Amino acid sequence: MGAQPLSVKRAHVEFHNFASFGEPARNLAIYAEENERRAGVILKHREFIGAMTPFLEIGANAGHSSYMLANQFGADGFALDLSADSLRHGRAIQDAWGLEKAPIRLAGDAAHLPFADESLRMVCAFQMLSQFPDIEGIFHEVTRVLAPGGIFLFAEEPLKRPLSLRLYRCPYYEHMKPWERRLYDWGLLGYLVRDVIGAHQEESFGIRQNHSLDLGDWHGLIGRFFHDRRYEVFVPERGWGERVAKRLAIRLDPHRSEWRAARLLGGTLAAVCRKSGASEPRPLARFENFLRCPDCRAPLRLDASETLRCTHCDYASANEGGVYNLLATPDRTELYPGDREDIVDFSQPSHEHHLLDGWYELEGVFGNKYRWIGARATAKLTRVNSTAQNLRIRCHTTAQAVPSEVRAIVNGALAGTWKIERTGLQILETPIDDAEDYLIEIRASPTWQVPSDDRTFSITVSGIRLV
């Protein structure tokens, strides 16, 4: 229940790698701002929440909010995300902020949590439930792993906005047209657009989002799973157009709350939900005692080599850069294939033997390594699966190359053409004909130059693979 297709999981892994490593200084500022906002919700409901150890943050990205729970609130627990590289980036956060404690970091699936029944005191989710088509399935899994009396805290989940004409989908502010920015600043754009501003941009990466729940839907869903709850709603005030409507809705509300405004204008929801029953919190002395095998659900044990091993099947997960990968074997094999002949992974030293001509020097940091190309570059791949194949290219465009066009030519035949209208990460995917070996040619235009550099540039490429 709540599961995402493999293609969507792959998009999450690729996007989070890029997001964590692409602009470290900017991301640290964003993470700090998010932690301040999330800590405010916790502090407001601190007495209701009670003990936090052991906690689990699902969809943790780099784990910055888990570091906040561990250091600001003194709790012990786990940070879980599909992206192992994002979690490894958490060490950079710990060093930059001078933090003493770190969560235990696990690559895993929120729809299939690798935790024993009733093992956790608190589960947190920030800005991630709406990335599942079946949010109720995630609630099932969260209540399974929560101990009686445990807390589910989620925040920054979008509320569907009824007061809108839903005419079209709008990009993020930096990619808006001038007239869209003006309407946004006046607080009028929200009355025209469909779902959350910028949602279609993330969906262009392959990420799918669920913005179908309004305030009443969330309240009904929470009531089916939890004994008690506390809410915080955050209603937008982007300019006079939303400010006037919000104040009028509050004035018409019998309790002078923001509830009626949230029903009309949408916004985001934070909820602190308590499971029925009561139990004593368990200290996080041996963390493996809280886990279970993602394949057969048997207990896991930690051996002398810091490898988690199943007590029933042959499942094993080594400590790789501070992260244990506890995805089920089919997902782990596809999302983290390692060195394979049908993949050019620029983070793997062995990627060079796939490259032919047109590639500049390797740049970037682990998890987000890339190479610039000029007008064209070529590489070779060898098929390892018998099923139908798509070619998938992960690249990045800068302002100098937008608008642009990217073409993929496979074994001499045009396989795909993409018109690029925005900067940032691009995921390009197209079906290709059956063959044993593939000669991949990537053509990009326009090209541009940097003063004092005689090379020509177009885009960066950080991954090529068959899927």
In a domain, 409, yes or no: yes
Residue ranges in the chain whose pLDDT is less than 50? 1
In a domain, 372, yes or no: yes
- 11 with 105, same domain? yes
In a domain, 308, yes or no: no
Dihedral pair phi/psi, residue 261, rounded to 5°: -65, -40
Task: State which of 274, 292, 308 marks the end of a domain.
Answer: 274
- 84 with 222, same domain? yes
What's residue 366's pLDDT? 62
- 42 with 126, same domain? yes
In a domain, 319, yes or no: no
In a domain, 205, yes or no: no
What's residue 183's pLDDT? 96
What's residue 442's pLDDT? 98
In a domain, 90, yes or no: yes
What's residue 296's pLDDT? 97
Domain total in the chain:
2
- 369 with 240, same domain? no
Q: Tens of pLDDT along 253-293?
A: 999 999 999 999 999 999 999 999 999 989 998 999 999 99
Task: State which of 252, 274, 296 marks the end of a domain.
Answer: 274
What's residue 8's pLDDT? 84
- 154 with 234, same domain? yes
User: What residues have CB less than 8 Å from 412, skipping those under 6 apart?
Assistant: 439
Give the global pTM: 0.88
- 124 with 247, same domain? yes
Contact 51, 284 (CB under 8 A): no
CATH code: domain of residue 420 = 2.60.120.260
In a domain, 321, yes or no: no
In a domain, 119, yes or no: yes
Range of the domain at 378: 343-466
- 142 with 226, same domain? yes
Which amino acid is present at 94?
Q
- 97 with 239, same domain? yes
- 79 with 223, same domain? yes
What's residue 194's pLDDT? 86
- 232 with 360, same domain? no
CATH code: domain of residue 69 = 3.40.50.150
